[in-house]
Amino acid sequence: MTKSLSHLLRRAALVGTALVALSVAAVAPFDADAQPRRGGTATYAYISGPGTLDPHVASSMVELEVIHHLFETLVAMDEKYNTRPSLASNATASPDAKTFTFTLRKGVKFHNGKEMTSADVLASFERYKKVSPNASVLADVESFEAPDPYTFVVKLKSPNAVFIDVLKSPVYPFAILPADQKDKAAREVDIVGTGPFTLGEWVKDSHLVIKRFDNYVADESMPGPDGLAGRKTAYLDQVRYNFVPEANARVAALQSGGADVINDIPVALAKRFEGRSDLTTLSIFPYCMQVYVVNTQQGATRNPLVRQAILATVNAEEIIGAMNAVAKPSHSLVYASSPYYQGDAMKPYYDQKNPKKAKELLKQAGYNGEKITLQTNSNYPNMKDAILVLSELMKEAGMNVSVDVVDWTTNASNMQRGTGTWNVSTTSFCSNPLLGPQQWRVMFYTFPQVKDDAVLDAAYAQFYGSLDLSKRVAAWAEIEKRVIEQAYMIKIADTGALRAFNNKKIENFTPYYLVRFWNVSAK
């Protein structure tokens, strides 16, 4: 007997695999009976150009916000981060959670006009397994099968209670590409998906345009959009993403009419919109978690005692104060609403502000003044300021520190791929704390470049292999402790996001984890 997706979702609600919703400014819900005007352009002042639009290797928000307009997945997360059908109309799981069968929607068109079938799904999963930094989540796959054009089957070697939740990931998305892209190397695919928009012009370091896909086949099982799922409609002719790294310039663009939507607004600059009835500000919290990422494979930070010394120097209050962002202190890698939340278990590692302890750890490590490079970027002031404060805290503890400032695309690529010369960097993880341990896994291994950690490997094997929630919770406790104790990542704070738009020019722009332009229209 198999279990349907709806049954799995009910079970997920009981065990908490679907987590928390965003707290946002009040926004009218989507009105399925409304008749928005078709046509027009929305201009989005965007913090940076994407490094890639290959969905299988994309993890940065500046990539994902574009990608999810162009590509779609078998299942997707809804407004409250639950799992919903997308390109699959249904999914069933065998009682032993080892076989998963997906029934595809019929008639779905790629941007090249060809119909999507199970052959495309199979080829996409095979490519993902070869090129994605997240490919480890498919390591236990015994086979992919396409028994007919509208059925796709995944067979695992061992049970995986959260496999369908894994597939809804918006980061390194399991996007379906045409089968002829199967052998394309990472970052070399043709940008052809099934999404409501197609790629238009892309001028690196300047702008990017997406255009309405007039042959888009929407999921008609729902009256309107729901998160990254549901019935999406592209009303706008196009969306123009202008790459505007400076926050002041983005704010000025919205004020002057040069942009209709902006994101990543520092708290101090949001005050400029006061008294402007035509500009609406949206606050989203919690949105992300800000962390330091420590490179375990390069220079002094190969030594766990040096990493722990860096952890001991952190003063969360000073760092948050410098970030000029919506942020609150927090020691956990999941939110308090999660069934995996451990209470105060991780608190002793957080906000130690203990340079004396750091010096003792450095002495035990045999540290002899080797340079420790902190890398940050010029696009996100909150990240740059967080690194600058950390550099001073580390210097106080006797570390030889240098700061390397690069552009965000380079910074993100270096963290993800382990390239460049850096020991510590900082970034925000957004879907991971919302979706839980399965979403954190690839980040824990990839960004700090973790190798051969038997403790972490065993804990994750227990997590994925258990159908018992209590055992998964125990496994997560071990995972979180290992990551923090070894200072692979150092938690700074829970953070929010400020966005703004011109309500006289744009309607039905609603807040979410990602900025979305389907169902948005121009007035």
Could you report the per-residue pLDDT of 141-197, keeping only the tens digit for each? 999 999 999 999 999 999 998 999 899 999 999 999 999 999 999 999 999 999 999
Model pLDDT, residue 12: 36
pLDDT at residue 26 in the model: 34
- Using pLDDT thresholds of 50, 70 and 90, give the confidence band for residue 25: very low
- Whose tokens are 């309500």? That residue is 503
Least confident span in 23-27, 77-81, 429-433: 23-27
- Whether the per-residue pLDDT at 31 is higher than 60: the answer is no
The better pLDDT of the pair 34, 374 is held by 374
pLDDT recorded at residue 228: 97
Considering only 4-18, 186-200, 266-280, which range has the smallest mean pLDDT? Answer: 4-18
Average pLDDT (273-299) is 95
Amino acid at 194: T
304 has pLDDT over 60: yes
The per-residue pLDDT for 8 is: 40
- The confidence score (pLDDT) of residue 486 equals 98
What pTM does this model have? Answer: 0.80
CA distance 423 to 136: 24
161-165, 295-299, 445-449, 500-504: range with lowest mean pLDDT: 161-165
Q: What pLDDT, in 10s, does the model give residues 416-436? A: 999 999 999 999 999 899 888
Q: Is the pLDDT of residue 316 over 80?
A: yes
Burial label for 287, CB within 10 Å (0-12, 13-18, 19+), is: buried
Are residues 65 and 243 in contact, defined by beta-carbon separation less than 8 angstroms?
no
Altogether, the residues listed in the chain come to a count of: 523
For 97-153, how does the pLDDT look when each residue is reduced to its tens digit (9 = 90+)?
999 999 999 999 999 999 999 999 999 999 999 999 999 899 999 999 999 999 999
The CATH code that applies to domain 286-497 is 3.10.105.10
**Percent of the chain at pLDDT exceeding 70:** 93
Share of the chain above pLDDT 90, in %: 87
Determine the pLDDT at residue 33. 52
61-73 mean pLDDT:
97
Q: How confident is the model at residue 27 (pLDDT cuts 50, 70, 90)?
A: very low
Distance of alpha carbon 388 from alpha carbon 374, whole angstroms: 9
438 versus 22: the higher-pLDDT residue is 438
In the beta sheet, which residues pair with residue 141? 156
What's the distance, CA 418 to chain centroid?
18
| CA 203, chain centre distance (Å) | 24
Averaged pLDDT, 458-467: 91
Residue 4: pLDDT band (50, 70, 90) is very low
Whether the predicted pLDDT of 15 surpasses 50: no
Question: How far from 382 is each of 102, 247, 402, 410, CA to CA, in Å?
Answer: 42, 11, 18, 17
Arithmetic mean of pLDDT, 368-377: 98
Amino acid, res. 266: P
The arithmetic mean of pLDDT across residues 47-56, rounded, is 96
Beta strands in 231-305 (DSSP E): 238-243, 261-262, 279-294
User: Rounded to 5 degrees, what are φ and ψ at 380?
Assistant: -110, 100
Q: At what angle do helices 454-465 and 437-446 cross, to 10 degrees?
A: 160
Predicted confidence at residue 44, as pLDDT, reads 98
24 pLDDT more than 90 = no
Q: Whole-number mean pLDDT of the chain?
A: 92
When mean pLDDT is compared across 17-26, 174-183, 328-337, 444-453, the lowest value belongs to 17-26
- HSE toward the beta carbon, residue 392, CA cutoff 13 A: 9
CA–CA gap between residue 173 and residue 118 (Å, rounded): 17
The DSSP result for 311-357, as a single string, is HHH--HHHHHHHH-SSEEE---SS-TTSTT--TTTTGGGSS---HHH
**Span 3-244+503-522 CATH architecture:** 3-Layer(aba) Sandwich (3.40)
pLDDT at residue 375 is higher than 90:
yes
Q: Please tell me the predicted confidence (pLDDT) of residue 2.
A: 43
* Boundaries of every domain in the chain: 3-244+503-522, 286-497
pLDDT value of residue 175: 98
What does the pLDDT read at residue 465?
86
Residue-level pLDDT at 81: 87
